[in-house]
A = this chain, B = another copy of it.
């Protein structure tokens, strides 16, 4: 944003609550499929799909398309980049909170 208040310069990818939610789940769950994320987040299918695509494009998440029997299944995992971004974002949020006291 600027260099006067770099503290408030956050990762816009993770600053979006829906994506932070997804990422938080994947950070501890290691792996989750589309329907699990759908249920945990309460997002619509369209939005979940779009946010996952964005996270994939940023290389924060890797997506594996497989089948559970004959039914398609979309598996999601955080990449190394994604894990690091999550940890960085968490640190940044802590700094911001300190600034807000």
Contact = CB atoms under 8 A, between A and B. Distances in A.
A8 B40 CA distance: 12
Interface residues of A, number: 28
A40 B5 contact: yes
Interface string A4-44: 11001110000101101100100100000000000111110
B43 A18 contact: no
A68 B84 CA distance: 49
Interface of A: 1-5, 8-10, 15, 17-18, 20-21, 24, 27, 39-43, 86, 90, 93-94, 96-97, 99-100
13 contacts: A1-B17, A1-B42, A1-B43, A2-B43, A4-B39, A5-B42, A8-B21, A15-B17, A20-B96, A90-B97, A90-B100, A93-B97, A94-B97
